[in-house]
């Protein structure tokens, strides 16, 4: 596994939490480089602590009032020590797509793959 290459693959990266109350971070994008210290992404970031899905209706937009914030697409270096996991995604992820509610309070990108961002079980503290 040491020789596995992530470069040019589309990924979903979830960052490890180091203390209670810390926001959860998910990055969705393309790996542009890997170093011994970090994974370099061209990605969009999502941040949440407790997502409120009381009025969530499948297909509707997820807004900041629901508890999820998003930053635009940019180059980001994520240290390996901070990465909880890396999920390889299908090619053609549209990480600029709108963020919508899916089944069971899950949050996805409104792209052709309905790219998964986070699950309801991750919404709590």
Do 58 and 103 form a contact (C-beta atoms < 8 A)?
yes
pLDDT at residue 51, as a whole number: 73
Candidates 13, 9, 32; CA nearest to 118 is 13
Strands of the sheet containing 99-101, edge to edge, are: 99-101, 107-109, 116-118
109 lies in some domain: yes
Structural domain includes residue 3: no
Is 104 inside any structural domain? yes
Does the pLDDT value for residue 11 go beyond 90?
A: yes
Q: Quick: pLDDT tens for 61-86.
A: 888 888 888 999 999 999 999 999 99
Tell me whether residue 76 is in a domain.
yes
pTM: 0.86
| Each residue's pLDDT tens digit, 14-62 | 998 777 766 788 999 999 999 999 999 999 999 887 777 767 788 888 8
Instruction: Report the number of distinct structural domains present in the chain.
Output: 1
pLDDT recorded at residue 1: 44
């Amino acid at each position: 596994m040491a020789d596995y290459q992530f470069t040019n693959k589309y990924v979903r990266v979830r960052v490890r939490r180091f203390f209670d109350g810390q926001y959860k971070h998910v990055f969705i994008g393309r790996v542009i480089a890997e170093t011994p210290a970090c994974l370099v992404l061209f990605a969009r970031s999502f941040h949440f602590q407790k997502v409120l899905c009381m009025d969530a209706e499948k297909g509707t937009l997820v807004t900041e009032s629901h508890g999820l914030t998003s930053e635009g697409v940019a180059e980001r270096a994520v240290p390996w020590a901070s990465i909880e996991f890396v999920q390889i995604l299908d090619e053609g992820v549209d990480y600029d797509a709108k963020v919508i509610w899916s089944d069971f309070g899950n949050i996805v990108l409104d792209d052709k793959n309905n790219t998964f961002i986070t699950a309801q079980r991750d919404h709590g503290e």
